[in-house]
Copies of this chain bind each other. A is one copy, B any other.
């Protein structure tokens, strides 16, 4: 591992563990250079990249400090639909429509970074809030990275919860769009006639590669996404 990367890891752990809370001063470039026996420029690179990622804030003349927590994750903190429903003190229930092994289509294979035709796990689940469908979750899973996916009871534990247990995710990408639901989706969502739906396409990675790809569809009338951002770090 590169030296600057070693230093980044060290600082990551201090911040992630909570040992250094918000606004706590971070070791200066010179201090890190001494501690890790590298040049100031190398220590600087570690701090600079952390600043670019929004984890720390740097101020000329003053120093480097742990960034206030809210800055990035709140919006798209990976949501667990079950927790969300329960946090509103509503009943949560799930119904599994599909749970099986399939051969990957070209499209699915590309998204999971596998070869077409290789087996993938496929699930379709409707999530209910007080017996009203609020999300249809269609998911494809990389079977090489998640062995026991098919043998879980997804009316007890959500796929998201299981996947988080099995392989800690390191990265996620999202795309949000507004769509008209297909007849099949209307049925699963118990919509008597099509209404605009919010669709979230989410891909998540672990260190080993793409773990899963999910298409989450919410009826527009029953769902909205919220988020809050703080600025102040401002490295334009």
Residue A157 lies at the interface, judged by CB distance under 8 Å to chain B: no
Asked if residues A172 and B12 are in contact (CB atoms below 8 Å), the reply is no
A220 to B76, CA, bound (A): 20
Which residues of chain B are near A226, meaning CB under 8 Å? Answer: 173-176
| Known contacts A171-B228, A172-B228, A227-B174; is-contact A179 B220 (Cβ 8 Å) | yes
Residue A53 lies at the interface, judged by CB distance under 8 Å to chain B: yes
A 6-28 binary contact with B (CB < 8 Å = 1; else 0)? 00000010011000000000000
A-side binding surface: helix, strand, loop or mixed? mixed
Asked if residues B229 and A174 are in contact (CB atoms below 8 Å), the reply is yes
Which residues of chain B are near A117, meaning CB under 8 Å? Answer: none
Asked if residues A227 and B75 are in contact (CB atoms below 8 Å), the reply is yes
Asked if residues A177 and B225 are in contact (CB atoms below 8 Å), the reply is yes
Instruction: Determine how many copies of this chain the complex contains.
Output: 2
Contact-residue bracket for chain A:
35 or more
A178 to B229, CA, bound (A): 21
Asked if residues B53 and A52 are in contact (CB atoms below 8 Å), the reply is no
Residue A210 lies at the interface, judged by CB distance under 8 Å to chain B: no
Contact of A235 (CB < 8 Å), options: B73, B174, B224:
B73
Asked if residues B12 and A229 are in contact (CB atoms below 8 Å), the reply is no
| Least CB separation from A194: chain B residue | B196
Q: Which chain A residues in 151-209 approach chain B with CB under 8 Å? A: 169-180, 195-199
Q: Given known contacts A16-B233, A72-B175, A177-B225, what 9 new A-B pairs fall within 8 Å (CB)?
A: A53-B230, A55-B233, A75-B176, A170-B231, A177-B220, A178-B179, A178-B199, A179-B196, A179-B220
